Amino acid sequence: MADDRFGKSGRAVPSSRLSRLGVFGRLAGGVAGGMVAEGARRLASGELPRLSDLLLTPGNALKLADRLSHLRGAAMKLGQMISMDAGDLLPAELSAVLARLRDNAHHMPPTQLQSVLVRQWGPDWRQRFQRFDPTPLAAASIGQVHRAFTQDGRDLAIKVQYPGVAESIDSDVDNVATLLRLSGVLPSGLDIAPLLAEAKRQLHEEADYRREGDQMVRFGALLADAPEFVVPSLHADLTTDRVLAMDFVAGDPIESLLTASQATRDTAMRALIGLVLRELFEFGLMQTDPNFANYRYQPGSGRIVLLDFGAVRPIGASTSDGYLALLRAGLGGDRDAVRDAAVAAGFLGQAAVQRHRPLVDRMIDVILGELNRAGPFDFGDRAFVGTLREEGAAMAADRAIWHVPPVDTLFAQRKISGTALLGARLKARVDVRALIAERLDGGNVAADASL
């Protein structure tokens, strides 16, 4: 092999349950020390500090981000999800620091990477390759990706899972949930047990690289009629439970489109919105992780490369039907029907409607106004978001009405919201109403709703 050396920099992943517990213990100790110091400072200045204020200081949030980045795995994955999904529900300090987790994974040091590959491929694994690039192309929450060239001439991307990730998922989720409880972000009466159980289940699925490979093949078949997308091909002979081998497909970060023409940005965003609608109403299957790193762009062909199929989930008929009713009501401009559909689908709790009906109706009116505006929707114009935030502030403060929507709806909405965030990032302009109307009138919805 031309290059069998590994890169020199890296940070070892704690792989045993005891070592990972130790990281959480050090985090708790460091945070506790920070709380004592901050509490003393505030008492000295005549303040009576709250526990949540002491926990969520910038210094403690920095410790949290650093430890979760060190742990990788489920702990870091949950931190990423919280930073992307919780929005204005999080204190600004915590939200800003957790956002660093999206781009702040360390890669494994050489000896640890070598150990993983020997366990997965055997001690003679190097003989399969002309070259295995030692420095990863990318390092994320569950694994890191290397480029490799096989002896038979294949140009591959090899995703290698961090050691101990799969075995530590349940305890990591429980530990992060405890941190959230202590922070005071979650109301004490809010039952998140079903969500935690589902998060564990999905993370176990994401850690199963054979399953991810199967889902990648499945999406490749589903999108065979969509030349605007590229799905890498699986190389099963090199894929194991902890290593995923696929074609290396060149492409630029999707955010490179920021410097592209308006028409190019609009075309790419139209394709991605169309994909979400097909997933929801046609495929009955959705890749629910909206991380921008899961998309690459090929400027020469204009095609979008789709990556990372670990978070693929089936979309049940009840979830599709809920979105169908909500969109039909929205396109019809019927405020009452939208409210009823939102409650029926679980987006909105009945208690919220009973206690805050005027606020709910004003928020629906804002959304209807945006949805039914003639012409392309300008994702870069976020003025209405501020209006919704202001209207919803009183509801968010009323913790008695907080509820957890159905799990399937939460994961589907995560993809939808993440796609909208990408549209905002690219300042795209897309006639979303026309795309929705075309999909609702296309016949596939009616056919799939009965599955």
Distance between CA atoms of residues 65 and 75, nearest Å: 10
Interacting residues of 237 by C-beta distance below 8 A, sequence separation 6+: 245
Contact present, 6 and 43 (Cβ < 8 Å): no
Measured between alpha carbons, how far is residue 332 from residues 104, 372, 384, 438 in Å? 44, 9, 20, 14
Distance between CA atoms of residues 15 and 165, nearest Å: 7
Per DSSP, the chain holds a count of helices (H) and strands (E) of 17, 13
DSSP SS3 for 325: helix
Instruction: Could you list the beta-strand ranges (E) of 220-279.
Output: 229-230, 243-247, 252-253
Give me the phi and psi of 272, to 5 degrees please.
-70, -40
Nearest to 61 by CA among 85, 82, 40: 82
Radius of gyration for the alpha carbons in the chain, expressed in angstroms and rounded? 23
289 classed as catalytic: yes
Distance between CA atoms of residues 96 and 184, nearest Å: 17
Contact present, 323 and 410 (Cβ < 8 Å): no
Distance between CA atoms of residues 329 and 327, nearest Å: 5
Identify the DSSP state of 142: S
Among 266, 289, 308, 408, which one carries the catalytic annotation?
289
Nearest to 199 by CA among 407, 346, 14, 422: 407
Residues tagged active-site = 289
